[in-house]
Structure 1
Amino acid sequence: MRFRWPTHRLDPGPAGPAPNRGRGDLSVNDRDEDIIVITHVDRTDTAWVEESLRTRVPSRQVRTYRGETLPSPGPGVAGIICLGGPMSAHDEQPYPFLAEEKAYLRQSVHRGIPVLGICLGSQLLAEALGGRATPGWGLEWGHIQIKLTEDGRRDPVLAGFDGEHFSFHSDTWTPPPGATLLATSDRYPQAFRFGCALGVQFHPEISPTGLQQLIDHEGTKLTAAGVDVQRMLADCLDHEAVARAHFDRLMVRWLTQ
């Protein structure tokens, strides 16, 4: 018998979503179930995600931007990780797969399937659950200070994650009704929880190799936007060991909370 987070209505009212009561250990997986990793461009940095999952739980990548089909959110899906991308969460006309993803994330949370949304993934998750993704008030890039709220310090995944983490975005989100704000930076909200769903605006999964790929592809635009790409890459290299350990800890907690 599958053990999942308790489901709850997506219109939680003033009481908010049902409290988390645990969902078992996804890393102890003797069933034919995968973690679904949703990506949005070919250059998505999945190295640390794949390494963290490889020895713990089966996973497979779904490239919705290539027309690949998301599996039914039910038996066979142990959890979902929705990663970043260069588009905005509301760009559904040029990227119609985004509407499909929002519906999929909403259905998955409704059915108690754990979801982790990172950067664009967190914005899609916020919109799927009744929040709003909007243009922000400036690009936030490089290693920034993440400050946990009181709820964040008690969160089973993010507790202890105060400190510097890599960020690269200009859009932001308003948390869904009934969600709990877990973290902020000086400029933007950075993490929220809605039952079994965790949205993280910053990039705990970025590796120096992945950042170099971003610079190779978008370096001219980044420089024109005022980004010191060499400093950003140097900081990423300086933080690599700590960031890798932080991300692995985040994944272990997400899989076993």
Structure 2
Amino acid sequence: MKTVLAVRHVHFEDLGIFEPWLRARGYEIRYIDPTIDNLDHLDVVAPDLMVVLGGPIGAFDDAIHPFVTQEMAMVKARLASGRAMLGICLGAQFMARALGARVYPMGVKEIGFSPLTLTAQGQQSPLALLNDVPVLHWHGDQFDIPAGADHLALTSVGKHQAFSVGSTVLGLQCHLEADTARIEQWLVGHASELSQAGIDPNVLRAEAQRLGPQLQEVALKVFETWLQRALA
């Protein structure tokens, strides 16, 4: 049985469209919530794939959220194993920090749908399949690109949007996993953040409805292509 360990910080920021795709291909998925679960004896090396998902905290919030220290240890252990690992938003920030890079507030919220600009290395990566399709951004922090990693993508708001380490490690600020049919959960779950940022939920809802079908089709192709290389 192929296995996936998914680290989830808030319930609705889960594997999204990746989950049914994985289950259909025989993967057994185990969710871990580091805010409440006992992580002391968790084997983070054995699963075929580890995914660290998003959440509305900072990857540097150890003093506010003590579980961050333990989660960082998990991330470092998985990275050291060299096995397939995907980080999304907060998860990518944890990975960047574990690899020695700085993670910090951008001073602005990047929330909404817009395309990535790929670097030369990004154009040789699975992200090239996006082909300018707008993706969902939802973050206020940014990572620097870790030493030795490939810088894959940027936007006009944030210059560090994706990185990879070899074929097995991928960090994404954007949410390719998000199920746009469930955007209402995001709009409710992050209502305070949207209000403080002056972002109209109606605009996001309309964009999700208009862009979602194409984005999700392409996002699955990106994920499939990356995973095949990561597990090869």
Q: Which amino acid aligns with 1:248?
A: L
Match of 1:183 in 2: 153
SS in 1 for 2:55: coil
Q: Which residue of 1 aligns with 2:174?
A: 202
Any residues of structure 2 matched to 1:29-40 within 5 Å, and which? 32-40=1-9
Q: What is aligned with 2:204?
A: 232
CA–CA separation in structure 1 for the residues paired with 2:131 and 2:72: 29
Q: Which residue of 2 aligns with 1:104?
A: 74
CA distance in 1, matches of 2:190, 2:127: 30
5+ residue gaps, structure 1, are: 1-31
Q: Which of 60, 74, 81 does residue 90 from structure 1 map onto?
A: 60
Using the size of structure 2 for normalisation, the TM-score is: 0.90
Residue of structure 2 aligned with 1:213, choices 163, 185, 192: 185
Query: Match of 1:170?
Result: 140
- Please tell me whether Structure 1 or Structure 2 has the larger radius of gyration of its CA atoms: 1
Secondary structure at the counterpart of residue 202 of structure 2: helix
Could you give the per-residue CA deviations for residues 75-107 of structure 1, whole angstroms, max 9, x where no partner exists?
Answer: x31111111001110111222222222222222
Q: What residue identity is the alignment partner of 2:9?
A: H
Which shows bigger deviation, 230-239 or 88-97?
Answer: 88-97
Question: What TM-score comes out, normalization by structure 1 length?
Answer: 0.82
Overall identity of the aligned pairs, in %: 28
Return the alpha-carbon distance in structure 1 between the equivalents of residues 190 and 81 of structure 2. Answer: 38
Greater Cα shift, 117-126 or 218-227:
218-227
Q: Distance in 1 between matches of 2:178 and 2:65?
A: 24
From 168, 182, 192, the counterpart of 2:163: 192
1:110-149 mapped onto 2 (5 Å cutoff): 110-149=80-119
Aligned to 1:10: none
- Aligned partner of 1:58 among 28, 45, 53: 28
- Equivalent position amino acid for 2:4 in 1: I
How far is 1:202 from its partner? 0.8
| Aligned residues between the structures | 224
